[in-house]
Amino acid sequence: MAEHEHVRVAVIGSGFGGLGAAVRLRREGITDFVVLERASSVGGTWRDNSYPGCACDVPSHLYSFSFAPNPDWPRTFSGQEHIRAYLEHVTDVFRLRPHIRFDSEVKKMTWNAEHLRWDIETTSGNLCADVVVSATGPLSDPKIPDITGLDSFPGKVFHSARWDHDYDLTGKRVAVVGTGASAIQIVPSIQPRVGRLTLFQRTPPWVMPRVDRAISSLERSLHRALPLTTQVRRGLLWGIRELQVQAFTKHPDELGFVEQLAKRNMARAIKDPALRAKLTPDYRIGCKRILLSSTYYPALAQDNVDVVASGLSEVRGSTVVAADGTEAEVDAIVFGTGFHVTDMPIAERVVGADGRTLAETWKNGMAALRGASAAGFPNWMTIIGPNTGLGNSSMILMIESQLNYMADYLRQLNVLGGKVALDARQSAVDAWNHKVQERMKRTVWNTGGCTSWYLDASGRNTTIWPGTTTEFRRATRRVDLAEYEVIRAPRPTATAARRQAAAEVDA
């Protein structure tokens, strides 16, 4: 690659992860960095998911940066537009815009062993960086299953994360495919206006009521006047979730009483025993993400809704056909079928020290030291990497822990001095991963009797962190250099040094 612009750090993505990294870099005194974002604005998840009813499942005072508290959250569980506005605000307050390059999709990044840097190709030009922080998000590339005949469906088709706001659903016959976190927010939001809604449910979710309310102006004034009250509120929300972790990770049997609460929640809205039977899960609560909604079941009980207890398997003209043979004629199909999580597309685009892509390295399952570093990919780290996801709390806590790790990583590089890179030792990655997978064996995600997007194609859980957020914070406080190989640039030969000196004089 010809000589290109060089930066100390290239961050990829401008969701919570990328923006958080940018703030942290500035706080560490590093200003020589760029944020490469394929879209035209910041926000990540909260920019792309604008479907009706999109909202967070974690209370806003916890689902926000600890260093940027917001006393003005309008609701306990804020909607997408408020979270997106918050991220725009963070971008402005921390003066991040000059660093961000929009419409810059990273197509490829290749480790350059000679110069100890990453050569990065983007849709807006090429550059190189000493360090790459990949914050492309675990849920940013929508997945639509391969359905026979879908290509020739004459109606409208879209994914929940790419909602077509120009298409009016009023009076239409709509198929919603999937019953995950997005689908259960979409269904009650569109049910009152569509003509008929057919829900394709492969597996029913466990659904608990969502205790959402407007945050009063008195509370907001209090938070503005006494910032400590926002911290106390956040601390309580965090502490409650931290106490739940043991049940998920060590004592799934204790979750039985939560199932009873969820069943009662269903029974209140669903009076038809046949429908209740269809909607009752046959696996331990928590095995899949516990969903929160007080409007989902009431919507399913309405006359214009059919629940098909089977996945969509075929489309014949405008007829959608379930695996159990149920048919329905529809005008539109909405896929709430999730994302490429364990096969994240960015992994195809990272080429490491031995010429292999990260996807090839991860072909038997994703693994990264402390959720950040993969062996053979020096000075490359990921935010929300393998086994950093949470089933019950705020991902922002995990992101901030990873940012601590990133900051220490950069400090260590400075201390080592000169042209230097850190490459995670394979033995350290394996040891970390072994520990994680051993702990995973007892968790509800592995023992609860379900298949979920937490598991990869081979059934291994490479997404969830099997511990408390405090444990993860401790594990990512410092970089342990013993876990890395320190690589130094080869000394230039006398001739090469003379050539470089001459080039510098010419420049």
Ligand X SMILES: Cc1cc2nc3c(=O)[nH]c(=O)nc-3n(C[C@H](O)[C@H](O)[C@H](O)COP(=O)(O)OP(=O)(O)OC[C@H]3O[C@@H](n4cnc5c(N)ncnc54)[C@H](O)[C@@H]3O)c2cc1C
- Contacting residues toward ligand X, per CB under 6 A: 12-18, 36-39, 44-45, 49, 54, 56-58, 63, 105-106, 135-140, 181-182, 346, 383-384, 394-395
DSSP run (H or E) holding 335: strand 332-335
Q: How far is the CB of 181 from ligand X (least distance, A)?
A: 6
Order of all β-strands in the sheet with 327-329: 312-316, 319-322, 327-329
Q: How far is the CB of 45 from ligand X (least distance, A)?
A: 4
- Please, which residue, 173 or 233, has the CB nearer to ligand X? 233
Amino acid of residue 334: V
Angle value at C-alpha 106, between 30 and 452, nearest 5 degrees: 100
54 contact partners, CB below 8 Å, separation of at least 6: 79, 80, 182, 185
Q: How far is the CB of 493 from ligand X (least distance, A)?
A: 37
Amino acid of residue 17: G
- Please, which residue, 12 or 262, has the CB nearer to ligand X? 12
Structure tokens at 100: 């961000």
Structure tokens at 48: 């792309």
- Please, which residue, 270 or 403, has the CB nearer to ligand X? 403
- Please, which residue, 137 or 204, has the CB nearer to ligand X? 137
- Please, which residue, 119 or 331, has the CB nearer to ligand X? 119
Q: Which of 189, 159, 110, 203 is nearest to 332 (CA)?
A: 159
Residue 118 DSSP one-character state: E
Q: How far is the CB of 309 from ligand X (least distance, A)?
A: 24
Q: How far is the CB of 380 from ligand X (least distance, A)?
A: 14
Structure tokens at 97: 């815009």
Q: CA-CA distance, 189 to 336, in Å (whole number)?
A: 14
Q: CA-CA distance, 22 to 11, in Å (whole number)?
A: 7
Q: How far is the CB of 481 from ligand X (least distance, A)?
A: 27
* Exposure b/e, 88-116, CB count within 10 A at least 16 = b: bebbeebebeebbbeebebeebbbebebb
Q: CA-CA distance, 449 to 85, in Å (whole number)?
A: 39
- Whole-number CA gyration radius for the chain: 24
In this structure, are strands 33-36 and 100-101 parallel, antiparallel, or unpaired?
parallel
342 contact partners, CB below 8 Å, separation of at least 6: 365, 366, 453, 455, 456, 457, 462, 463
- Please, which residue, 160 or 308, has the CB nearer to ligand X? 160
Q: How far is the CB of 382 from ligand X (least distance, A)?
A: 9
- Please, which residue, 329 or 348, has the CB nearer to ligand X? 348
Q: How far is the CB of 462 from ligand X (least distance, A)?
A: 16
Q: How far is the CB of 253 from ligand X (least distance, A)?
A: 26
Q: How far is the CB of 142 from ligand X (least distance, A)?
A: 9
156 contact partners, CB below 8 Å, separation of at least 6: 164, 167, 331, 332, 333
Task: Give the chain's length.
Answer: 507
Q: How far is the CB of 104 from ligand X (least distance, A)?
A: 6
- Please, which residue, 27 or 268, has the CB nearer to ligand X? 27
- Please, which residue, 58 or 270, has the CB nearer to ligand X? 58
Q: How far is the CB of 153 from ligand X (least distance, A)?
A: 24
Residue 294 DSSP one-character state: S
Q: At what angle do helices 217-225 and 227-249 cross, to 10 degrees?
A: 110
- Please, which residue, 28 or 57, has the CB nearer to ligand X? 57
In this structure, are strands 156-159 and 125-134 parallel, antiparallel, or unpaired?
unpaired
Cα 282 to Cα 278, 450, 464: the distances in Å are: 10, 8, 22
